[in-house]
Amino acid sequence: MQKVLVIGASRGIGLEFVRQYREAGAQVWATARGEHLKAAEALGATAWALDVADAASASSLSWRLDGLGLDLAVYCAGVYGPDTAGLEPPTQADFDAVMHVNVLGAMRLLPVMAEGLAPGGKLAVISSVMASIGERNSPSGWLYRASKAALNSVLKDAALTLRDRATCVALHPGWVRTDMGGPSASLSVEESVAAQRRVLAGLTPARNGSFLDPQGQTIPW
């Protein structure tokens, strides 16, 4: 039985990962802020309260993962922040909120998630093509873009550190019809997660440290 951990399963992509892996027969552990735990529990996951932006809350995960031997761990937690069109400086509060969840949360939790992996396991962060500098053609949402570019950097460091133990990747989920993606997005959350699961299932150690789209193609950093 596959063992899967999903960080940030309150709703949207994270919760859909829980649903699809449970439907496939996997044993799933999921984290969400306290008020959102019931959704993951209803799908048959073991759900733990966790706020990735809170240091004490994040540190509580370590003992829970001890000895689990996870096949896959996915960091799905993320927020968008202000919807800007150009060089509109974010407020301190907006900057702190976005960077704490998208970057600092990952830096706190990736080492813990890695400790819970079985040898040869897989670790993924949900990034965005908006993080790509090589493919960038719009400045919209520049705080979100900056945070996801930083998340990619964090993932790359994890890939280098864990290269003899795990395969680590950043995944672009596509443009998805979630609260963040909006109703005009091209993919349903079910389609996005199904595509990402196919990519994850096909990962080999040769793809360690890659930034991948929903078809498994490499995205320029």
Lowest mean pLDDT: which of 45-49, 57-61, 110-114, 150-154?
57-61
pLDDT band at 175 (very low <50, low <70, confident <90, very high): confident
Query: What CA–CA distance (Å, rounded) separates 190 from 183?
Result: 14
Alpha-carbon torsion angle 173, 174, 177, 183, nearest 10: 160
Query: What CA–CA distance (Å, rounded) separates 59 from 125?
Result: 19
pLDDT band at 198 (very low <50, low <70, confident <90, very high): very high
pLDDT in tens, 106-164: 999 999 999 999 999 999 999 999 999 999 999 999 999 999 999 999 999 999 999 99
pLDDT for residue 197 is more than 80: yes
Cα dihedral sign, 68-159-78-53: positive
* Domains (range + CATH), the chain: 3-212 (3.40.50.720)
Amino acid at 128: S
Three-state DSSP class for 189? helix
